[in-house]
Amino acid sequence: MSNIPTAHNGAKQGDFAKTVLMPGDPLRAKYIAETYLESPRQVTAVRNMFGYTGTYHGKEISIMGAGMGMPSIGIYSYELFNFYDVDNIIRIGSAGALQDHIKLMDVVIGMGACTDSNYAYQYGLPGTFAPIADYELMSRAIKAAKEQGTNVVVGNVLSSDVFYNQYEKVNDLWRDMGVLAVEMEAAALYMNAAKAKKRALCMLTISDHLYRGEALSAEDRQLGFGKMMEVALELA
């Protein structure tokens, strides 16, 4: 019996390309598909989590929303890797900066993803697993960003389960360990990729700085995110 369609994804076998870009917001997935892809077609809309497939510079590529948090991207990326034969998933999202040298609209690439999540518990490992990006995807993304003229910073990010944290000093602890920025999905994506023997990368545009009180305007977000999208599309 086929595993697809699933309760979360209405696509059929062959509807997804080998490479899928995953923004958190399904409406951003729609925007990317309609703005950048040639002949995009919608392949799923279950729970309004939109997915599209088309071509970019002649190469087939898919875009699909991931939702917010590790449980959400954990479900969608698991199904793409294990049921839809996707080889590469590139998360394109936003993050809050922790370090002083990081500026608004910088692109942070998560070489590794620290986490306060218990996501790895399911694997029964006799220790702590370190979720990391695929090196080949990461090196190509760094090269493309630099050629584009975008300031790119590479290192550890934090994938947190908690947005409104009751412990007010929590960011100070991660900042002191050199973690670059906070987001909510990369660690689960990297773990799913490792288990499925597939490849994943997390690219993040800095939308706010948690220590300087700075934040992008809506117009700046569109410009900054566009640069990141173009880099990610080149990885297909």
Active site residues: 208
CB-CB contact of 126 with 83 (8 Å)? no
CA-to-CA distance for 115 and 232, rounded, in angstroms?
A: 24
- Cβ-based neighbours of 104, under 8 Å, separated by 6 or more: 97, 206, 207, 208, 209, 214, 215, 216, 220, 224
Placement of tokens 């999202």 in the chain: 93
CB-CB contact of 62 with 73 (8 Å)? no
- Strand runs labelled E in the chain: 19-22, 38-44, 51-56, 59-64, 88-97, 107-115, 152-159, 181-183, 199-209, 214-215
CA-to-CA distance for 206 and 213, rounded, in angstroms?
A: 13
CA-to-CA distance for 132 and 7, rounded, in angstroms?
A: 29
CB-CB contact of 66 with 23 (8 Å)? yes
Which two tokens mark 112?
């590794």
Collapsing DSSP to helix, strand or coil, 114 comes out as strand
